């Protein structure tokens, strides 16, 4: 566990995709490569029940091995943190469960143990969650309808960074928005240990109703790859670079 860090994509959206490949499929692809995809669907304040389009939110998270939640924008901060932490625990628990099955036999997971043993194992999972490194790529839907939610999104992300940086483990965040001007996604904020430095507001909103969620997830997935490639080139600087996490 010491070597790897947990990788997550956090998708914030308010509607369903309408361009390009199926987002559930690209989420499954990301999950296969060790990246968890979490999705938060944001409702309008006057919406009383979730529209059909938000069923997609659940489907993406399900195939992306992550957590999904649908919220009103005012409770976004807490939800973003809950989802991120829950997804971390879920991933770690998955690892631990796999190890346990290897040691104890195929039908002995955490659920099949008595509460005392389960408690001891959960302590290990919690320890891992506190100390492991985390990389979160935030993918924000900036289609027209998201316009008035973006300030709240920004606040929620800063809040997320406060929470995660209170952990012992190191963090890296970056923010991308989609759709981009010419590409599927556009970089808003490069990989950094903290988010409280985001002063740049999200780029000019793209008008028109295109929401290419699928292609955006695929692009986002490549951003993790790029970074590790870069890191392997600059292996010498690595320790210096990582210290900034504190």
Structural contact between residues 138 and 99, judged by C-beta atoms closer than 8 angstroms: no
Residue with tokens 């970074």: 227
21 binds another protein (CB under 8 A): no
Task: Name the strands in the sheet holding 186-192, side by side, starting at the edge strand that comes first in the sequence.
Answer: 65-72, 35-43, 6-13, 134-141, 171-178, 186-192
Residues in region 163-182 near another protein by CB under 8 A? 163-168
Stretch that binds another protein, among 46-54, 106-114, 136-144, 238-246 (CB under 8 A): 106-114
| N-term to C-term CA, the chain | 19
The runs of H, that is alpha helices, within the chain are: 23-32, 55-63, 76-104, 115-131, 150-164, 213-233, 238-243
143: nearest Cα among 232, 229, 14: 14
CB of residue 132 to another protein, shortest distance in Å? 12
76: nearest Cα among 36, 35, 37, 44: 44
194 binds another protein (CB under 8 A): no
116 binds another protein (CB under 8 A): yes
214 binds another protein (CB under 8 A): no
Count, residues near another protein per rule CB under 8 A: 32
The Cα 61–Cα 75 span in angstroms is 19
206 binds another protein (CB under 8 A): no
CB closer to another protein out of 126 and 243: 126
CB of residue 161 to another protein, shortest distance in Å? 10
Residues in region 32-91 near another protein by CB under 8 A? 58, 61-62, 65, 67, 77-78, 82, 89-90
CB of residue 209 to another protein, shortest distance in Å? 29
Stretch that binds another protein, among 10-18, 123-131, 186-194, 201-209 (CB under 8 A): 123-131
User: Buried (b) or exposed (e) across 171-195, using 16+ Cβ within 10 A?
Assistant: bbbbbbbbbbeeebbbebbebbbbb
Q: Give residues in contact with another protein (CB under 8 A).
A: 58, 61-62, 65, 67, 77-78, 82, 89-90, 93-94, 110-111, 114-116, 118-119, 122-123, 125-126, 130, 159, 162-168
């Amino acid at each position: 566990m010491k070597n790897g860090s947990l990788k997550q994509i956090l998708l914030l959206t308010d509607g369903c995709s309408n361009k390009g490949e199926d987002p559930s499929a690209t989420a499954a692809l990301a999950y296969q490569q060790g990246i968890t995809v979490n999705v938060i669907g944001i409702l309008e304040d006057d919406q009383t029940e979730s529209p059909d389009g938000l069923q997609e939110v659940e489907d993406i998270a399900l195939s992306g091995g992550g957590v999904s939640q649908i919220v009103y924008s005012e409770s976004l901060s807490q939800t973003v943190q809950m989802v991120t932490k829950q997804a971390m625990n879920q991933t770690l628990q998955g690892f631990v469960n796999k190890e346990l099955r290897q040691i104890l036999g195929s039908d002995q997971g955490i659920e099949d143990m008595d509460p005392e043993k389960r408690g001891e194992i959960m302590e290990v999972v919690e320890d891992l969650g506190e100390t492991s490194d985390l990389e979160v790529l935030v993918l924000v839907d900036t289609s027209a309808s998201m316009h008035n939610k973006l300030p709240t999104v920004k606040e929620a992300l800063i809040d997320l960074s406060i929470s995660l940086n209170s952990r012992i483990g190191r963090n890296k965040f970056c923010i991308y928005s989609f759709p981009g001007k010419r590409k599927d996604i556009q970089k808003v904020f490069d990989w950094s240990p903290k988010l409280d430095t985001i002063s740049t507001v999200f780029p000019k909103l793209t008008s028109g109703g295109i929401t290419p969620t699928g292609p955006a997830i695929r692009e986002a997935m490549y951003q993790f790859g790029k970074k590790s490639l870069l890191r392997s080139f600059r292996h010498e600087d690595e320790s210096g670079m990582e210290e900034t996490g504190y």
